[in-house]
Chains A and B, each alone.
Chain A
Amino acid sequence: KNEVEQSPQNLTAQEGEFITINCSYSVGISALHWLQQHPGGGIVSLFMLSSGKKKHGRLIATINIQEKHSSLHITASHPRDSAVYICAVPRGETSGSRLTFGEGTQLTVNP
């Protein structure tokens, strides 16, 4: 069992739909990252959160530390949101932080 698991693996939506991507983890963490990866490979950090909720534009990330679960929501989805969304948790607080990643959710938003 992976330390970080995401669902769904693939998600297809119509423009304007509300999107939810889920992430569960099995290790104790102090923070969780949501990242976006476009075709070609570059990774962009969307959020880092350790409790509650964060919002940036149409993106909302929530985390429940007790339940070891986080969600990424996209409101009013748009074709330009099509990308792979990855959650990741840092491992190793004192010796340097390495990220353990989920396998990603491929999101396709059709016009």
Chain B
Amino acid sequence: ETGVTQSPTHLIKTRGQQVTLRCSSQSGHNTVSWYQQALGQGPQFIFQYYREEENGRGNFPPRFSGLQFPNYSSELNVNALELDDSALYLCASSSRQEFHTQYFGPGTRLTVL
């Protein structure tokens, strides 16, 4: 059992709005990665946080931003939503000692109308 939780499970927004997605890491994991998965495609890396600092970023614009908190939970914020932001957003937690092993949350399905 992964222990990684995400909220909300589903979300509907309109273009131009802002959204915050949340992720609670598995106990003992200090690294969180966020991925975007469009329908029918593999997940794409958005960014990773380690000890509350961004530690690598994929090819996503600055309106995608994140935070990691002292308890290693994390938020993904998306400003000025666009229709193409509709996707499944996945977070995955890992530890520095076993950074190749990532445990995924169930995802948040975001629909932008």
Contact = CB atoms under 8 A, between A and B. Distances in A.
B99 A96 contact: yes
B55 A86 contact: no
B78 to A, nearest CB: 18
A88 B90 CA distance: 14
A93 B58 CA distance: 15
Interface in A18-71: 30-31, 33, 35, 40-45, 48
B103 interface: yes
Interface string B27-38: 000010101010
B58 A101 contact: no
B95 to A, nearest CB: 11
Contact of A100 (B37, B45, B50, B104): B45
B107 A41 contact: yes
| Secondary structure type dominating chain B contacts | strand
B48 A104 contact: no
Interface in A59-107: 86, 88, 90, 92, 95-104
B56 A45 contact: no
Interface residues of B, number: 30
A103 B42 contact: yes
Contacts of B56: 92, 95-96, 98
Interface residues of A, number: 26
Interface in B41-98: 41-45, 48, 50, 55-56, 58, 88, 90, 92, 94
Kindly name the residue among A30, A88, A96 whose own CB sees the greatest number of chain B CB atoms within 10 A. Answer: A96
Nearest to A40: B106
Given A86-B42, A103-B42, A97 B103 contact: no
Contacts of B111: none
B106 A42 contact: yes
B13 to A, nearest CB: 18
Nearest to B2: A44
A110 B94 CA distance: 36
List of 6 A-B pairs having minimum Cβ-Cβ separation, nearest first: A101-B42, A41-B107, A43-B104, A97-B99, A42-B106, A98-B45
